[in-house]
Chain A
Amino acid sequence: MTNLSKQEALVQYAAQIGDNGLIIGHRMSEWCFRAPSIEMEMALMNCALDLIGQARELYTYAAKLDGTGKTEDDFAYLRDEKDFRNLLLAEVPNGDWGDTIVRLFFMSAYNKLFFTALTKSTDEELAAIGAKSLKEVTYHLRFSSEWLIRLGDGTDESHERVQKSINDLWAYTGELFTMTDGEKMLLEEGIAVDTAALKPEWDQIVTDVLTQATLSRPENKWAHKGGKAEGIHTESFGYIIADMQFMQRRYPGCSW
């Protein structure tokens, strides 16, 4: 199966969950001074702070497990594109408010189930991070579900726009339920979450909210994959890390 040691697999696992938080948090922070109202600006920045906060805890844990003196910043700033193992859904560009809400909704529905399961991990630190993160993503799911319903059942224009967002982003949802070899190995130890098993519940949440929003669920079963398993990203990802890592790359080894 995999030639990773358990410890290596665990470092990668913690980092990969962290990557989802950092990258989607990064995208959320790009909404700064661009949201439809100040109240919504505040809401998105709270989400961003939650998600980046999750990444920090997971990277810190990964660094501790790694044992070579790394810090959270080594994970965010000094890894290359291929080392990031986030879901592609986390990295696709923000688009308009509808795209952003749909992404947050798909992701938060997944995160809620994922972190609920993670609280039962035999790894105590992951279980604790899962419990804290669960509270945050529960709010994100509530916030994004309500917005999805407002947009779906709002004006003709908003209905049409957000249906398009759903159709466009749908192909990125299949990857949520894939398992890497490392995850499968950790699953046997009761450490990792069985993401494939989350799908029926995720489907149920999505169907319920879409129905309330008078929106339809795409039939398309095609799924883009590669972020999580191989570090093969979308074209937009290179710009995220070019932006994010610019200071650390330009001034190596400095304290900030």
Chain B
Amino acid sequence: MYGDTSIQKPIKIAEPTSEEQARLEELFQQKIDDNIKIEPQEWMPDAYRKTLVRQMSQHAHSEVIGMQPEGNWLTRAPSLRRKVILLAKIQDEGGHGLYIYAAAETLGTSRAEMIEQLQSGKAKYSSIFNYPALTWADMGTIGWLVDGAAITNQVALSRGSYGPYSRAMIRICKEESFHQRQGYELLLTLSKGTKEQKEMLQESVNRFWWPSLMMFGPNDADSPHSAQSLKWKIKKKSNDQLRQEFIDATVPQAEFLGITLPDPDLKWNEERGHYDYGEIDWEEFGNVIKGNGPCNKQRIAAHVKAHEDGAWVREAAAAYAEKQQNKDVA
């Protein structure tokens, strides 16, 4: 599960067109302020619906595309124990994508539409999955850092205002607690292994550290739409808050692994009670979002291929179901 909210574009909030509209919006905000969940079919501002559909579909796409980098290592897992763990983890990601697509469908957008938007490039997914998984250590690093960042996001999302999304997130957070642990355990094994294994570990963390921090999205100052999402409790914490939480939790874990994190500016700030960290390369982030990451094209191409290869299968099953229904009627 990857609750990445980094790729949202700001949405223009429509001015209330009438007194009625204003009254509805006021009631709506009152519910949100009172922590009453919003359920499907209830009145909601258009922009709330659009923001949610966008965020949820991006989140679901991230889960599904996120199967690819790890899926690449399924057939090469170095032990049977690791192989079944990885299979179960990737399967969870597919399941989590499915839960969120289903939750998003309650807002009136079909899964087919969402998938079309993903494939046409109209909808985005988390930038992290446009980085390649090159070594076995990456299977651990993805679990530890990428799932770790995602969990930080998702715990916040599970308290969000939209009922179906929040319920899906609760289920997902429960299931996902094993994802980060298996990744960290994998890395711990490498850290106690041979020189080559230790190098593999450090090299992998070097590649994934910064992209993991980017998963939280732009700095708050550059994230103008965040304020509205916070007000609507679609988001519960700002990008920078979540990023800081993640870094504070992760640094001691890195020390325990006996590795360094590739940021010379990373150090404890007694006064703030938090770790200070260096500047993220936002140009790289922007480029990966725009489609220039190392794997953007391959990821979408693989998704399109699976979808197209499966078209005759989906048609066959639909045709069979129709025949059966006609038989029942006759």
Contact = CB atoms under 8 A, between A and B. Distances in A.
Touch A–B, Cβ below 8 Å: yes
B64 A29 contact: no
Contact of B98 (A38, A154, A256): A38
B84 A254 contact: no
A139 to B, nearest CB: 16
26 contacts: A33-B68, A34-B302, A34-B309, A40-B310, A45-B87, A45-B88, A45-B90, A46-B91, A55-B80, A72-B80, A73-B79, A77-B78, A77-B79, A98-B313, A150-B317, A154-B318, A155-B312, A158-B312, A158-B315, A247-B76, A247-B77, A247-B136, A251-B78, A254-B78, A254-B193, A256-B79
Interface string A217-256: 0000000000000000000000010011011100100111
Contacts of B313: 36, 40, 97-98, 151, 158
A123 interface: no
Contacts of A97: 309-310, 313
Nearest to A56: B80
Nearest to B135: A247
A149 B74 CA distance: 30
A66 interface: no
B83 interface: yes
A209 to B, nearest CB: 14
B150 interface: no
A78 to B, nearest CB: 11
A17 to B, nearest CB: 15
A81 interface: no
A254 B79 CA distance: 10
Given A38-B94, A76-B80, A256-B78, A251 B316 contact: no
A155 B91 contact: no
A155 B262 CA distance: 56
B80 A52 contact: yes
B314 interface: yes
Given A45-B91, A56-B80, A254-B193, A154 B74 contact: no
B interface, how many residues as a size bin?
Answer: 35 or more
A251 B76 CA distance: 13
A75 to B, nearest CB: 9
A154 B309 CA distance: 16
Interface string A124-167: 00000000000000000000000001110111011001000000
Interface in B61-115: 64, 67-68, 71, 74-84, 87-88, 90-91, 94-95, 97-98, 101
A196 interface: no
A205 interface: no
Contacts of B14: none
Nearest to A247: B78
Given A154-B315, A256-B136, 11 more contacts: A30-B74, A32-B67, A33-B68, A35-B306, A40-B313, A49-B87, A77-B78, A97-B313, A151-B320, A155-B316, A158-B313
Contacts of B88: 45, 49
B75 A37 contact: no
Interface in A23-44: 26, 29-30, 32-42
A interface, how many residues as a size bin?
Answer: 35 or more
B18 interface: no
B310 A36 contact: yes
B323 interface: yes
B309 A42 contact: no
A33 B316 contact: no
B17 interface: no
B186 to A, nearest CB: 8
B84 A39 contact: no
B194 interface: yes
A32 B311 CA distance: 17
Given A48-B87, A155-B319, A33 B76 contact: no
B118 to A, nearest CB: 12
A52 B194 contact: no
A235 to B, nearest CB: 17
Given A45-B87, A243-B76, A254 B194 contact: yes
B35 interface: no
Contacts of A247: 76-78, 136
Contacts of B76: 243-244, 246-247
A96 interface: yes
B189 A49 contact: no
Interface string B300-330: 0011011001111111111111010000000
